[in-house]
Amino acid sequence: MEREDVRDLSVRELTAQLGEQLPRLMREEMTLARAELFARARQAKFGSGLLAAAAVVGLGGWLAMVAAAIAGIAVALPVWASALIVGGSLAAVVGALALHGRSRLARSMPPLPVTAGSVRRELGELTGRNGQQ
């Protein structure tokens, strides 16, 4: 579709054009926003799952540390030393899962940059600024 020079159009023609274009633009922007929100929701879901896994593994690590402390007091060195090694390994896994989950959640939180940019461009075109602020 070739764009007409708006300076050659009457106010009535411009108003009619706006009436035709505005609903289409709104539908397109809503579709874009919906797609961005679904992508962000997927990221948030995955990050939340990782944080939940970190919580479960963290509980296991805590229980192993408690068992190591009890075994260290009650029995000789080798029993609690082995329990501390297991607990420390679980704690390292908890840290890695928590950091990864946090970073995935952080990626899902910013506003919708593609939609915002598109709306700015469209408003700029409607006001005659060609996207400049």
Q: Quick check: 6 and 14 in contact, CB under 8 A?
A: yes
CB 98, CB 51: distance < 8 Å: yes
pLDDT tens per residue, range 47-106? 888 889 999 998 888 888 777 766 765 665 566 667 776 678 778 888 999 999 888 887
Enter the tokens of residue 86. Answer: 């297991």
Question: Model's pTM, two decimal places?
Answer: 0.39
